[in-house]
Structure 1
Amino acid sequence: MRVLRFILGDQLTHTISALRDIGPDDVVLMAEVAEEASYVPHHPQKIAFLFSAMRHFADDLRGRGITVDYVELHADGNTGSLTGELLRAVRRHAADAVVATEPGEWRVEAMMGTWAEAAGVPVEIRTDDRFLCSRPQFAAWAADRASLRLEWFYRAMREKTGLLMEDGKPAGGRWNFDAENRKPLPARHTVPERRRFVPDALTRDVIELVRRRFGNNFGDLEPFGWAVTRAEALQALADFVTNFLPSFGDYQDAMKTGEGFLYHGVISPYLNAGLLTAEEVCQAAVAAYAADAAPLNAVEGFLRQVLGWREFIRGVYWLKMPGYEKTNALGASRPLPAFYWTGDTDMNCLRQAIGDTRRQAYAHHIQRLMVTGNFALLAGVRPAEIEEWYLAVYADAYDWVELPNVHGMVMFADGGLMSSKPYVAGGNYIDRMSDYCDACRYDVKLKSGVGACPFNYLYWAFLIDNAPSLQGNHRLGNQYRTLERFGPERRAALQAEAHAFLDALPSDY
């Protein structure tokens, strides 16, 4: 019996469930397909990273004696779709059955549901057990909860895994050290140099392919420094744990001109593609704490991102899809401003965050949440448009991780299912946590009028415009009491200034 084992581009893990019990006559299918490379205009570095990592993974499998059928993007007869390549491979190898691991996207899972009938052979879809919380386990945790909150899920995961637990209690006597992780970067602070990787010949070939085929997409293709093998990804993890994790906690919310990585892990592309696993990443961080090589606030903050947030949003995605993406609790309806694709804006914080994204296919979570995301929420951008942008421009973006992050956390489009209040802020927050305002043509200290930071009046106008939905939110009580003191004339002036600014923004690019 010959089994065709289909490995997707984000399943580059030797222990992936689809490869278990592989037999000597079985064939592994991997395919670069136009449909997956272009359903949004992916950043060229993202495409190059995945294609190179896939090709290296295929070579690694071959080195282990496994037969691999690898279909390159420009191969003769490539149908351009996962389904088309599966059907061709079943015929090519006279396969008796197909085995795959559940995908990360609802769209692909629906596609997989058609394979058995189309191929005329049994198709087994196995659980993706690289995650520390399965879909059924998350559904059981979420049952009967009107709202879903990270804190309670995160505590349950700490108890389940035993990570950072001592005698059944959280290490240090507290579950959460977030209050200690909000320091701005000191002036003249020097960040260590990040470990990056020189492309080998295979990666250079992929880079040239991507240049020819996707060179007009948003984003710089080079310099390219991503790890594309598991060995390199492990080196990147070790570099983070040794040189960056100790300061990650203190400065995880900081932003600095020209420093798109700062002390962040920058391992999410490797985690989400499968070159690293969540368990080994968490264990590496906890081991650093145990060895007194990293402080508790840093390790706990990192663990909360991987063990907590990453697992949490995947659970939300599969619990609430496919209807989740259709919600729009605040009725946001503006088109995405063109500067998200061009970077052409006088707001320096946005120019810096988008510039980092263009150069690196990466921006850290505060840039994403409190700069590009904050503006999109304040501006009332249509959720689907900003969601497509995030999915396209980041090397770590897949639907399961991008959609709930942007839809729920950034845009509050789910009405508070996973967030107790919208994450909005005026210019003061950005000024406190970055040096961006120093070189901006707008004055962050001016709340309105000529030369005022747009974030300031957009913030108050957002609260006024959305008062019917938000003024009953207990976490916004102080803000709405302040608005009451403004008086009707000032409130109307803030709305007029904000709407005039937004109406003048180009949306075509």
Structure 2
Amino acid sequence: MKDNYKILRLVLGDQLNAHHSWFKDKNDDVVYVIAELHQEACYTTHHIQKVCAFFCAMENFASALSTAAHHVLHLTLDDTVHYRTLPELLSVLIERYDIKQFEYQLPDEYRLKKQLEEFSSNLKIATKPFETEHFYLNENMLKTDFKAGKSHRMEAFYRKMRKRFNILMQGDQPLGGKWNYDEQNRNKLKSGDHPKVPEPLLFQNDISLIVARIKRHKIKTIGRINNSLLWPVTRTQAKELVDYFCQHCLENFGRFQDAMSCELDDVFGQKQWSLVHSRLSFALNSKMISPAFVVNKAIDFYLKNDKRVSLSQIEGFVRQIIGWREFIRGIYWANMPNYAQLNSLSAHNPLPSWFWDGNTKMNCLRYAIVQSLDFAYAHHIQRLMVTGNFCLLAGINPDEVEQWYLGIYIDALEWVEMPNTRGMSQFADGGIVGSKAYAASGNYIKNMSDYCGKCDYDVTQIVGAKACPLNSLYWRFMTIHEAKFSNNPRQKLVYANWRKKAQSHREEILQQAETYLIEVENL
């Protein structure tokens, strides 16, 4: 390392983009800083695998930059322990290396963006922010497509994205004549489908030193880990995972993307826990690979293997990335910081303690939570319609729900987690993300999974000692929020069915729900 540089460039833990224009040219006057920070490790209680994955990926990225002859300052928790915040560290480095200009890529989280803007505004040297060059839409595009407080619909946005970037298009029309094949992508996994579910590609990354460092600095974490990390922590590994998904999962992705299963554990010993999902979200959110790279690789595979991969499968996958992922980011930036305080349903109940250990008799929740603790992972329907649905029905404070999701999942960064949780899952934003609350009784779980067959509760019962808690809680939720939802065309039938029930039966159901809420810690 030299003693002085002209430019200091900050690379955050979720900005590991080797193809950023910063790295095209080598400059002896530039030093890159990549730092493990107590600030980032402790702003919420993270899953131990999440902390390890980011720290390991950062270390590997720093090493790759050094190998490419860039000047890199990689700092571990041991090096940054005396700096309470990122600005404190940067101030010392700017002085130590006689820096003349500070540069950074725009953070994807509001708190970091504001922190760096305030820090930069008080510097006596020049500063310059850069785009991350990762997403399909840059900041100016987001400002055009999204407005604060306005309800946006993903389907309209998704179609616009398809046209704008010419993805799965024939001229100005969608390939195959349809924009969306969602109705074909809601299949339950039956026992005959089990052989179609491949084992996930797992990596063997030694993180023993990182685990020891986390323990040494008393960083509070949740979840379980050994000294080997199964997640991709280099661009090479991320690309391997893309190829594996295309080869083994893509042909059934759309078909089974909403399915859930615990029976596969009995057959294969918990080897198929990610089903047909790509598990690319950590690699994407840390920017080791770009959404365009993933989409292009998947479409190229589809075009070369259209006898294996149907249009409905590739469309379902592409929609998740160019549609939902970009859409959620737009919602976040259009509505922050007020979005973080929204609680349109006035939900204030505390999160049950069993969310931290999975010790509940409800099999769907036990399975989803234990899997999350074991792997820092659950797929989107487990998050939305199992843990999220329970929290919605039980009136759990969205602040607590949000912190749980933000901490437990390896891919959870605030920009993507908050709108998915506060908006999509909990309807706390009053409809900015979705037109209806994604509330469901136990019947949804029965239709999309095999969880109910091994549950202590009976999914067919609404009242009684063995009645599935989701059933009565669902009717209580719909009843107390009738003024908000009864005029929604998608939910009029729900209220019509409720009114068909005898008054005495309705009262019995609501009392059952109140009893379950009182005894929520024992469910």
| Cα distance between partner residues in 1 of 2:54 and 2:357 | 24
| Cα distance between partner residues in 1 of 2:417 and 2:149 | 23
> 2:148·2:334 contact (CA, 8 Å) conserved in 1?
no
Which deviates more from structure 2 when the two are superposed, residues 76-85 or residues 222-231?
A: 76-85
In the TM superposition, residue 374 of structure 1 has moved relative to its aligned partner by: 0.5
In the TM superposition, residue 447 of structure 1 has moved relative to its aligned partner by: 1.8
Corresponding residue for 2:269? none
Corresponding residue for 1:252? 257
Work out which of the residue numbers 48, 60, 63 in structure 2 matches 1:59. 63
In the alignment, structure 1 residue 356 sits paired with structure 2 residue 371? yes
Which deviates more from structure 2 when the two are superposed, residues 409-418 or residues 16-25?
A: 16-25
Work out which of the residue numbers 291, 299, 309 in structure 2 matches 1:294. 309
| Cα distance between partner residues in 1 of 2:253 and 2:378 | 15
Corresponding residue for 1:141? 145
- Structure 2 vs 1, CA of residues 436 and 386 (structure 1 numbering), >3 Å: closer, same or farther? same
> 2:452·2:459 contact (CA, 8 Å) conserved in 1?
yes
Corresponding residue for 2:289? 276
Structure 2 spans left out of the alignment, 5+ residues:
266-271
1:113-132 alignment runs, 5 A limit: 113-132=117-136
In the TM superposition, residue 116 of structure 1 has moved relative to its aligned partner by: 2.3
Which deviates more from structure 2 when the two are superposed, residues 25-34 or residues 182-191?
A: 182-191
> 1:329·1:412 contact (CA, 8 Å) conserved in 2?
yes
In the TM superposition, residue 125 of structure 1 has moved relative to its aligned partner by: 1.2
Corresponding residue for 2:231? 226
Q: TM-score, normalised by structure 2?
A: 0.93
| Cα distance between partner residues in 1 of 2:217 and 2:431 | 40
Which deviates more from structure 2 when the two are superposed, residues 215-224 or residues 173-182?
A: 215-224
> 1:44·1:214 contact (CA, 8 Å) conserved in 2?
no
In the alignment, structure 1 residue 45 sits paired with structure 2 residue 49? yes
| CA deviations over 1:425-480 (Å, ceiling 9, x no partner) | 11111111111111101011112222011111111111011112221222110001
Q: TM-score, normalised by structure 1?
A: 0.96
1:331-370 alignment runs, 5 A limit: 331-370=346-385
> 1:442·1:451 contact (CA, 8 Å) conserved in 2?
yes
Work out which of the residue numbers 128, 140, 155 in structure 2 matches 1:151. 155
In the alignment, structure 1 residue 241 sits paired with structure 2 residue 246? yes
Work out which of the residue numbers 189, 197, 201 in structure 2 matches 1:195. 201
| Cα distance between partner residues in 1 of 2:293 and 2:80 | 39
Corresponding residue for 1:505? 520
In the TM superposition, residue 119 of structure 1 has moved relative to its aligned partner by: 3.6
> 1:158·1:164 contact (CA, 8 Å) conserved in 2?
yes
Provide the secondary structure at the position in 2 that maps to 1:114: helix
| Cα distance between partner residues in 2 of 1:76 and 1:217 | 19
Report how many aligned residue pairs link the two structures. 505
| Cα distance between partner residues in 1 of 2:399 and 2:23 | 35
The amino acid across from 2:487 in the alignment is G
In the TM superposition, residue 198 of structure 1 has moved relative to its aligned partner by: 1.0
Provide the secondary structure at the position in 1 that maps to 2:191: coil
> 1:344·1:351 contact (CA, 8 Å) conserved in 2?
yes
What fraction of aligned residue pairs are identical, expressed as a percent?
Answer: 38
Corresponding residue for 2:318? 303
| Cα distance between partner residues in 1 of 2:116 and 2:147 | 27
Please report the RMSD computed on the Cα atoms of aligned residues, expressed in angstroms: 1.7
Which deviates more from structure 2 when the two are superposed, residues 295-304 or residues 220-229?
A: 220-229
Corresponding residue for 1:93? 97
Which deviates more from structure 2 when the two are superposed, residues 189-198 or residues 274-283?
A: 189-198
| Cα distance between partner residues in 2 of 1:484 and 1:280 | 51
In the TM superposition, residue 77 of structure 1 has moved relative to its aligned partner by: 5.8
Which ranges of 4 or more aligned residues in structure 1 deviate by more than 6 Å? none
The amino acid across from 1:44 in the alignment is I
Which deviates more from structure 2 when the two are superposed, residues 90-99 or residues 20-29?
A: 20-29
- Structure 2 vs 1, CA of residues 354 and 89 (structure 1 numbering), >3 Å: closer, same or farther? same
Which deviates more from structure 2 when the two are superposed, residues 289-298 or residues 42-51?
A: 289-298
Which deviates more from structure 2 when the two are superposed, residues 79-88 or residues 486-495?
A: 486-495
In the TM superposition, residue 173 of structure 1 has moved relative to its aligned partner by: 0.7
| Cα distance between partner residues in 2 of 1:106 and 1:43 | 21
| CA deviations over 1:297-354 (Å, ceiling 9, x no partner) | 1110010000100000000000000001111111111111111112110000000000
Work out which of the residue numbers 162, 166, 174 in structure 2 matches 1:162. 166
| Cα distance between partner residues in 2 of 1:136 and 1:43 | 34
| Cα distance between partner residues in 1 of 2:506 and 2:310 | 46
- Structure 2 vs 1, CA of residues 175 and 136 (structure 1 numbering), >3 Å: closer, same or farther? same
Structure 1 spans left out of the alignment, 5+ residues:
none
Work out which of the residue numbers 110, 114, 121 in structure 2 matches 1:110. 114
> 1:261·1:363 contact (CA, 8 Å) conserved in 2?
yes
In the TM superposition, residue 126 of structure 1 has moved relative to its aligned partner by: 1.3
